[in-house]
Structure 1
Amino acid sequence: MPAEVSSPTRRDFLRMSAFTGGGLVLAYLGAGDSALAQISKPAASATNAADFVPHALIRIGSDGTVTLVSKQPEIGQGIKTSLPMVIAEELEVNWKDVRVIQGDLNPAYGSQGAGGSTSTPTNYNEFRRLGATARTMLLSAAAQTWDVPASECHAAESAIHHAASNRKLTYAALAAKAATLPVPDVKDVKLKDPAQFKLLGTRVGGVDNPSIVSGKPLFGIDVKLPGMLYAVYEKCPVFGGKVVSANLDHIKTLPGVKDAFVIEGTDNLRGLMPGVAIIAETTWAAFSARKQLDIKWDEGKGATESWAGFAEQAKKLSTQSGTTTLRKDGDVAAAMGKAAKTVEAAYTYAFISHASMEPQNCTAAYNAKDSSLEIWAPTQLPESGQNLVAEVLAMPKDKIKLHIIRSGGGFGRRLSSDFIVEAAAIAKRVNAPVKLTWSREDDMRHDHFRAGGFHFLRGAVDDKGKLSAWHNHFVSFGNKVTRDGKPQLQAGSGASLSGDEFPGRWLDNCLLEQTLMECNIPMGPWRAPGSNVFAWVFHSFIDELAHAAGRDPLQFRLDILGDKEIVPGTGERGQPYHVGRMKRVLQEAATRADWGKKKFPRGQGQGIAFHFSHRGYIAEVAEVTVSKQGELKVDRVVVVTDIGSQIVNLSGAEHQVQGSVLDGISTLMYPELDIQRGRVVQGNFNEYSLLRIKDGYTKVEAHFLKTDFPVTGLGEPAFPPVAPAICNAIFAATGKRVRQLPLTHTDLSWS
C-alpha cells in the first residue's frame, strides 16, 4: 500500500495574497483537515509584509528569511520543528534560512489540536504539497525572468538555478515576482521523490532548544503583561463540591491582595468548577493569602467515594455478568471445558495523574469596552478552550482571541480546558490582565485522571498449545452525564474497551464484557489512552497462557496473529488491523534482541510485547535484572516501530521512543493515587513518586522500519508495550507475575 497523497483541485488548493513590501505568502486554510483551500481576502496592509501575515504558513521575505508558521501546539513532542521541516523539504530551502513561529488559534489554519499522535498524519501530505506549490511558483518566476522553460530550472538551497547558463536567483530576489503569478494547477505541481529528500530523515535539533537551555520565557507560566495581577483558585477537595461560605472579608485585608470572590461554576466536572478566587499583586501574595482561606463546603455525594470501596465493589461485580457485552464469539464455556490448560487472573491499576512538570496556568485579559477576551494558554486543544469559554461566559467566539503558548508537558492533560475557563471567568471580574497559576497540589488533586480499572480474565489453550478461548470482564469507571434531558453513565477516557481489541478478533471463542461503576472523579485522556493499560493487561495475560502451554512467548503470539495479512473490524479510528506489519516488527524486535539465543542466569530475563495504537505498529523486548532482594533494573529495551514511509526528524523520533520507554518504566514502577472520602490523598512529588534521573540508566534501542504506508505520529505508540515487556521479563527472571500497578505492590524478591 503506497503512501497516500490526495489530489485536491486547483480551486481547493490555495490562492496567493499580494502584500505591500515585496513578500510571497501562501496561506493554508483547512476545509476540515483534508484540503487546502482558497484565500481571497488580502492581508491587512503593512509597510513590511513580514509584519503581518494572517492565516499564512509560509513567508518568503525580500531579506531572504523564510518564515514558517507552526499551527499545532508544541507540548514537547517536537511538532514545532518537524512539521515545518516537511514544508522546507519540498520548498528546497536551506534550514538555516528558516524561522519558525508559533501560530495562534485561527480558523484559517484548520485543525490545531495536539493529541492522539495526529499532528503528523493530519498534515504531512498537505504540507508537502504546500511546499511544492511554493517551489513551483518560484521556478516559474525565475523561468519568466530569464525567458527560459521552467523545465530547464531546478530549486536548491533557497534559490532557483539554470544549469545551462550557470545562473542563479535567490528566493529573496524572486519573492516579489512570484507574488504576481497565479497558483498552478495541482497536476503541474510535482512532489519530490522521497529518495531525494535532504532534510527529512536527518537529525534536526528543536527550534526552541536554544531558548529552553538559556532560560528564555517560552512557556505559559512565563507569560507577563503590563499591569498584570496574579490569581489562585481554591476548589472543593471533593469533586463536585460547592462553596457554602468563605472568609472573603478577611482575605481582602491581607498584604498584596486586591480582591477575593466566589465563582458559582457549572455542574459539569469538565467545565468550570465552583471555587474561590484570590487576586493579588504577586503570585506569592496570592498563595500566602490562600493559606488563610476558611471555606465551608457542600461536599456532595462524592464524599462517600474511596479506592478501597471501588475495589471491593469491583470484586463483587466480577462474579456477575457484565452490564455491556462488547464481543461474543463462539462458546467460551465449552472451549474452556475442552481445554488442555486454563488460567484465571485479575489485573488492577489505580487512578494516576498526568503530573506534567509545568502546572496548569493561563493568562487572560478582559476588555470591558468591546466585551472581548484575550487568552494566553499552554493548551493542546485551543479551539476547545475557546468554545468552553464562549459557552460558560456566554460570549461570541469571535470576541475571544487565544494565543497558543508552548506547554511544559501535556500527555493529554491539556486537552481539557478547565484551567482556561477558570482564568477567563476570573479575568472577566477584574479590570486588569490576570495570570492564574495552579499549585502542584491543585495540579495533582484536580487533574482529569487516567481511569483506574479491574480486569477479570480467563483464558484457555488447547492440546496443541494454542490459545482457544478468552474471557475478559472489565470493570471500570464512568461519570453521570445528561443527554437529551436523560441521565446516563459515560465511560471515562481510557475506561472504554473496544470489542476489537487484541486478541478478540483473532479467536473463535471470545467474550468481552464491561461494567461501569459511577464516580464523581473527572477522567481525561492520558498518554496513549486505553492502550497504556490494555497492552499491559493483555500481553501479560497472553504471556501467562504461553507459559501455561509450555510455548515460546514469541511463537505463541505469532500463532495468535495468524496468516491473514489484514484482519477486518472497526479497530482503532475505524482502521483494520494489518497483521503483516505487526508480525514484521515483532520478528524484527526479536532478531535485534537475540530472542531465545541468550542463556540468562536466575534473576535475569527477557520479555516481549507488542501493540497497535495511534496508527503505529510497535514491538518491544525488555531485558531486566532482579536482585534477590527484589530490586529491579531494566537493562535494555529494544523497540522496533513501523510508523510508515518516512521518519520526519530522526532526532525527534529517537527522543520520542526513548521518552516513551522511560515514561513507561516510571509509570510501571511508581505512581498511584489513593481516594479517601472523595479526596485524592497525594498532593506532591514527595507522595507521588516518578522515575528520577539517577534511575534513567536503561539502554534504549530505537529501530524504524521504513514501509510503504502513510506517515503517522510517534508521541504515543511506543508507550503501551513497555510495561508488559518488562513484566514478562520479570517473570522470566524470577517466576513472579505482576498483576497490579504500580510495581511497588509486588514483592519481587527471590531465593
Structure 2
Amino acid sequence: MTVDTPINPARRDFLKTSAVAGTGLVLGFYFDASSGAGRGVAKPGAPEAAGEFRPNAFIRIAPDGRVTLTSKQPEIGQGIKTSLPMVIAEELEVAWQDVNIVQGDLDPIYGSQSAGGSRSTPTNYEEFHKLGATARTMLVQAAALTWKLPTDALVARDSAVHHLPSGKRLSYAKLAPLAAKLPVPPADQVKLKDPQEFRLLGTRIGGVDNRAIVTGQPLFGIDVQLPGLLYASYVKSLAFAGQVASVNLADIKKLPGVRDAFVIEGTANLKGLLPGVAIIADSTWAAIDAGKQLQVVWNEGQVAQQSWKGFAAQAESLYRQPAGEVLRNDGDVEAALAGAAKTVEAKYVYPFISHASIEPQNATAWFKDDGIEIWAPTQNPEAGQRIITEVLGIPKDKITLHITRSGGGFGRRLIPDYIIEAAAIAQRVNGPVKLTWTREDDLRHDQYRAGGFHFLRGGLDDSGKLSAWHNHFVTFSHPVFKDGKPVVELGAGANLSGDEFPGRWVPNCRIEHTALACGIPMGPWRAPRSNVLAWVFHSFIDELAHAAAKDPLAFRLELLGDKGFLPGTGEQGIPYDVNRMKHVLLHVAEKAEWGRKQFPRGQGQGIAFHFSHRGYIAQVAEVTVSKDGKLKVDRVLVSTDIGAQIVNLSGAENQVQGSVVDGLGALMFQELDIDKGRIVQSNFGDYPMIRIADAPPKIDVHFLKTDFPVTGLGEPALPPLAPAVCNAIFAATGIRVRELPLRKTDLSWS
C-alpha cells in the first residue's frame, strides 16, 4: 500500500468541487458567538460531574483526564467509529491512548446519523475538525488565564498545554474545570491545524472495537440482553407480502417454551411491516423451532406468478420495442451505427443478489409507559424511528433508539423492516422482547440488489474511435400508488442516469430504460447501481477497444478526452473530474506495467475504472485461467483518489481490500433465482460466498492524495473489480463474460 504524490487541480475546479462536496451537516456542533446564534448545542445540559469539560455534544474531558468522544454514525464495519473520532482527537491534540470512544444513540443533537452512500466522512469531516479545534482553543485559553500569558505563546500537545520557553505544562485534566466555565469562542478565534502538522490522521490506528470483537464481547444487536427478556420469531409468506388466511395458533401456543403466538396484519409495503405470524418464547431456539411447526395458508396474490425465467423472457421481447423512458438522446444513433466502420452488439445480464450480512437482522424492543425503547444494528436510525411513528402512532419523543454495532450492512440495514417488526411485536408483550431472523429469513426476505438486462450497440468510425452508443436497459420497478394513482417507481439500485459514463463522451448516444413490474423487494447494495453498471459499461468498452484493434488503456484515455470538469452527474449530483480519473487510470497502469509485460496463453491483465460515491478508482486485475476453466485472480492493483487526506491508513486499506474481495465474490458466485414470487435459495449451501482460496493473494493499494475535499471509501473501490477481472479473462482466453455470476460461463480453452 502506498500514498502517492498529490496532483494540483486548477483553483476554479477545486472551488466547484468544494461547493458540492463540502455542504456540511444538517446541524452544526458548535456555537458561533460572533453571530450571536447557536448552531446545534454548544454545551448540552449541565456537566455530568463537577469540573467536567463538555464544550459540545461530542467531547467530554473528566477531571481525572479521561477523554470521551462520541461517535454518532452507525458502525457497520466501515471503521467510522474509529476514524471520525480521530479527526476530533487530531484537532484536540489529545493523546490517542487517553481517548475512550462511545456510540451515540439516536439524538437530533448529533445531526444526521445515517450511514450509507459513503457519506459519513465527507459530511462530517470539516465539522469534526471544528469540534476538536474549538475545544483545544478553550483549553489553551484556560492555561493562558492560569499562567497570565498570551494564548499565542502556548502550545497544545499530548493532552496538555505547554509553555515551551519555561517548560511549564498543564494537563487537560487540570485545565478541564476552568475550561468548562469559559464561553465558547467565536469561529474567527478558532484556528484549524495545518494538515502538514497532522500527527494522528494518516497513521494506522486499529479499530476501537477490535479487542472486544476478537474476545467475543457483546457489541452487536444480536448480543443485547435485558432483565426478563423474551424472544421472538416472525414468519412471513415466502411469496412477498402474502397475507395470512389461516394458521394453527392454538397448536403453537401449546409447544414447550412458547408464551404466545399471534397474527400481525401488516401492509403490502415491501419496506415496512409485512403480514406475518409472531411467536413469543423463552428462548430464541424455542421461538424459531415453533415457527417451523406453523401451518399457514397464505393469500399470495399476483407476485406468486413472477419468476426470473419470466422476467428474462419479457426483457427479450421488450428491448426491441420503444423504451419506457429515454434518459439521453444525443445526435443520431441509428445513422451513426449505419455508417460505422464496425459495430458491436452484446447483451449483459446480472441477477438479483442478497446482502448476506454475517449478523442476521434483529432488534430488541421494550414497550412501556406509552413509549418504546429499541436496540438495533441499523444504518439508518432515523428511518427506524420514523416508521415506528408512521405505523404504530408512537410520537418521536416517545421513541428511544440505541444504535448497536452491526455485523455487516452493505446497505441492507438502511431499511428498517426488522425494526418495525420488533416494535409491533413488543406492543403485545409485557416486557422486553428480542426478534431474531434466521439465516433463511435473512436470505429470503432481504431488500435485494436488483437484477438487470442491458442490450448494447456500439459503433466505431474509420479511425477506430467510438462514434455511437446505445443502451436499452430493461430493469425492475414496484407498482405503487401516490395520491391514489398508480405510478412506476424503480427499485432501489435499478435506475440509470443519462450522465453515466460514457453517456456524455459519445457524440451519438441513446440511453433508455424499460421497467418490468416486480413484487420482489429491492434495496441499495454496496455501491448501488455502480456495482453492476461498471461491469456492463467497462466490459463493453473493452469489447469495442478490441474491435477497434486498440490497446484497452489507450482506447479509454482517448474516450475520456479533455473534457475537464463535468458538473452534475447522476452519481448523487456530484461533478465528474476527467483529469482526476485519467490520473488514477495512468497511475494504476504504470504500477501494473501495463503493455510492458508478456503473458502466456491462459494469463492476462484487464483494466477498468469508475467514478462512484465521490471516489475516482482504477484497477488492473491479473488472472490465470487453466485449460479446464478454473479461474485464479493472482493480483489486483488499485489506484484511488479520495481527496486530500487519508483519515485512518489502516482502515482505508481495509476498505479497499474488502471491496475487492466483496466485488470478486459477487462476480464469481452470487445469484438468486426467483420462482412463484419467492426466492429459491435458502442458505449458504445453495448461495455460496467467496472463500479464502478464491481471494486474490495480492491486492496492491495506492492512495493518490490530491487537493480536493475528503470523501468516503466504503464503496468506491468495489465497482471496477468485476470488469477488470472479466477483461483480464478475455485477454487470457478470448472468452467474453456477459452474464453473472461468472460460474455460469464456461472458461475452458484449448
TM-score, length of structure 1 as denominator length: 0.95
- Measured against aligned partners, the alpha-carbon deviations of 1:108-162 in whole angstroms (never above 9, x if no partner) come to 0000010000000000000001101111111111011000110100111010001
1:43 corresponds, among 33, 45, 67, to: 45
Q: 1:356–1:410: 8 Å Cα contact kept in structure 2?
A: yes
Amino acid at match of 1:725: A
Q: 1:41 to 1:151 in 2, by over 3 A?
A: closer
Within 5 Å, which residues of 2 pair with 1:574-723? Answer: 574-723=573-722
The DSSP-based 3-state class of the residue aligned with 2:346 is: strand
SS state at 2:121 partner: helix
Residue 160 of structure 2 corresponds to which residue in structure 1? 159
How many residue pairs match? The answer is: 730
Aligned to 2:384: 385
User: Which residue, 30, 45, 52 being the options, matches 1:14?
Assistant: 30
Question: Alpha carbons of 1:460 and 1:7: their partners in 2 closer, same or farther (altered >3 Å)?
Answer: closer
Per-residue deviation, residues 526-555 of structure 1 (Å, max 9, x unmatched): 000000000000000000000000000001
Preserved contact between residue 50 and residue 177 of structure 2 (Cα < 8 Å) = no
- Could you tell me how far 1:291 is from its partner in structure 2? 1.5
Residue segments in structure 2 that go unaligned for 5+ positions in a row: 1-13
The residue identity in structure 2 corresponding to 1:144 is: L
**TM-superposed deviation, 1:46:** 4.4
* Structure 1 residue 40 displacement after superposition: 6.9
Partner of residue 275, structure 1 = 276
Is 1:16–1:39's contact at 8 Å kept on the other side of the alignment? no
Question: 2: distance between equivalents of 1:257 and 1:55?
Answer: 47
Q: 1:361 corresponds to which letter in structure 2? A: N
Contact 1:65 1:99 in 2 (8 A): yes
Structure scoring higher RCO (CA < 8 A, sep ≥ 6) equals: 2
8 Å Cα contact 1:640/1:704 also seen in 2: yes
- Give the unaligned 5+ runs of structure 1: 18-34
Query: Residue 31 of structure 1 aligns with which residue?
Result: none
CA–CA separation in structure 2 for the residues paired with 1:644 and 1:36 = 30
Q: Is the 8 A contact 1:55 1:108 kept in 2?
A: no
1:22 aligned residue: none
Aligned pairs for 1:104-503 (under 5 A) are 104-367=105-368, 370-503=369-502
Q: Does the residue aligned with 1:244 lie in a helix, a strand or coil?
A: strand
> Are the equivalent residues in 2 in contact too, given 1:626–1:633 (CA < 8 A)?
yes
2:529 corresponds to = 530
Aligned-pair distance for 1:325?
0.2
Counterparts of 1:600 and 1:230 in 2: how far apart (Å)?
Answer: 58
1:292 Cα offset (Å) = 1.0
How far does residue 326 in structure 1 lie from its aligned partner after superposition? 0.2
8 Å Cα contact 1:571/1:577 also seen in 2:
no
TM-aligned CA deviation for residue 485 of structure 1: 1.6
1-side partners of 2:56 and 2:415: how far apart? 25
- Secondary structure of 1:573's counterpart equals coil
Q: Structure 2: how far apart are the matches of 1:223 and 1:235?
A: 24
> Secondary structure of the equivalent of 2:39?
coil
- Give the alignment's Cα RMSD to 1 decimal: 1.9
Separation in structure 2 between the aligned mates of residue 236 and residue 590 of structure 1, nearest angstrom: 50
Once the two structures are TM-superposed, the CA of residue 568 in structure 1 deviates from its matched residue by 3.4
Number of the residue aligned with 2:6 = none
Closer, same or farther in 2 for the Cα pair 1:54/1:288, shift >3 Å? farther
Deviations 1:79-116, CA, capped at 9 Å, x for gaps:
00000000000110100000000000001000001000
Please identify, of 188-197 and 373-382, the stretch whose mean Cα deviation from structure 2 is larger: 188-197
Q: Which amino acid aligns with 1:195?
A: Q
How much has 1:187 moved relative to structure 2? 1.2
What SS does structure 1 have at the residue aligned with 2:711?
coil
Whole-angstrom distance in 2 between the partners of 1:266 and 1:109? 32
- After TM superposition, the structure 1 stretch with the greater mean CA deviation from structure 2, 236-245 or 722-731, is 236-245
CA distance in 1, matches of 2:727, 2:38: 47
Q: Partners of 2:386 and 2:138 in 1: how far apart?
A: 38
Distance 1:106 1:13, change over 3 A: closer
Inter-CA distance 47–182: structure 2 relative to 1 (3 Å threshold): closer
* Counterpart position of 1:30: none
Looking at structure 2, the residues matched to 54 and 106 of structure 1 have their Cα atoms a distance apart, in angstroms, of 17
Matching residue's letter, 2:398:
K
> Contact conserved, 1:100 with 1:207, CA < 8 A, in 2?
yes
Q: Shift of the alpha carbon at 1:696?
A: 2.4
The Cα offsets for residues 256-288 of structure 1, whole Å up to 9 and x where unpaired, read as 000000000012111100000000000111111
SS in 2 for 1:429: coil
Check conservation: 1:623, 1:726, Cα contact below 8 A: yes
How far residue 645 of structure 1 moved from its aligned partner, in angstroms, is 0.2
**Separation of aligned partners in 2, 1:512 and 1:418:** 34
Q: Deviations over 1:690-727 (max 9, x none)?
A: 10123224310110000000000000000000000000
Change over 3 Å in CA distance of 1:697–1:576 after alignment to 2: closer
Structure 1 residue matching 2:124: 3-state secondary structure: helix
CA distance in 2, matches of 1:606, 1:208: 38
Correspondence for 1:750: 749
> Mean alpha-carbon deviation: is it higher for 316-325 or for 623-632?
316-325
**Are the equivalent residues in 1 in contact too, given 2:655–2:713 (CA < 8 A)?**
yes
**3-state SS of paired residue (1:622):** strand
Cα contact 1:36–1:126 (8 A) shared by 2: no
| Farther off after superposition, 178-187 or 471-480 | 178-187
Task: Assess, with a 3 A threshold, how the Cα gap between structure 1 residues 54 and 411 changes in structure 2: closer, same or farther.
Answer: farther
**Aligned counterparts of 2:32 and 2:640: Cα–Cα separation in 1:** 39
Partner amino acid, structure 1, of 2:401 = L
1:310-367 residue CA offsets vs partner (Å, 9 max, x unmatched): 0000000011121100000000111111111100000000000000000000000000
Does structure 2 conserve the Cα–Cα contact (< 8 Å) formed by 1:83 and 1:120? yes
Q: Which amino acid aligns with 1:159?
A: A
The one-letter code matched in structure 1 to 2:245 is V
- Once the two structures are overlaid, the 10-residue window that deviates more, 563-572 or 203-212, is 563-572
Amino acid at match of 2:452: G
Once the 2 structures are TM-superposed, how far is the Cα of residue 47 of structure 1 from its aligned partner? 4.8
Assess if the C-alpha contact under 8 Å between 1:448 and 1:524 holds in 2: yes
The alignment partner of 1:520 has SS state of: coil
C-alpha change, 1:7 and 1:660, in structure 2 (3 Å) is closer
Q: Distance in 2 between matches of 1:38 and 1:73?
A: 20
CA distance in 2, matches of 1:53, 1:633: 54
The 8 Å contact of residues 55 and 109 in structure 1, kept in 2 or not, is answered as: no
Task: Give 1:59 deviation, angstroms.
Answer: 0.5
Distance in structure 1 (CA, Å) of the matches to 2:643 and 2:43: 37
SS class of match (2:683): coil
Matched position secondary structure for 1:584? helix
Paired-residue identity, %: 67
In structure 1, what residue type is equivalent to 2:562? D
Q: Which amino acid aligns with 1:658?
A: Q
1:14 Cα shift? 2.2
| Aligned counterparts of 1:305 and 1:573: Cα–Cα separation in 2 | 32
* Distance in 2 between residues matched to 1:53 and 1:430, nearest whole Å: 39
Distance 1:46 1:59, change over 3 A: closer
| Change over 3 Å in CA distance of 1:740–1:7 after alignment to 2 | closer
Is the partner of 2:233 in helix, strand or coil? Answer: strand
Please tell me the residue identity of whatever aligns with 2:436: T
* Separation (CA, whole Å) in 2 of partners of 1:243 and 1:472: 42
Partners in 2 of 1:432 and 1:63 — Cα distance?
Answer: 38
The aligned residue for residue 57 of structure 2 is: 56
Q: Can you list the C-alpha shifts for 1:457-514, whole angstroms capped at 9, x where unaligned?
A: 0001111111110000000100011112211110001111001000001111000010
User: What code does the residue aligned with 1:168 have?
Assistant: R
Q: 2:505, 2:414 → 1: CA distance?
A: 33
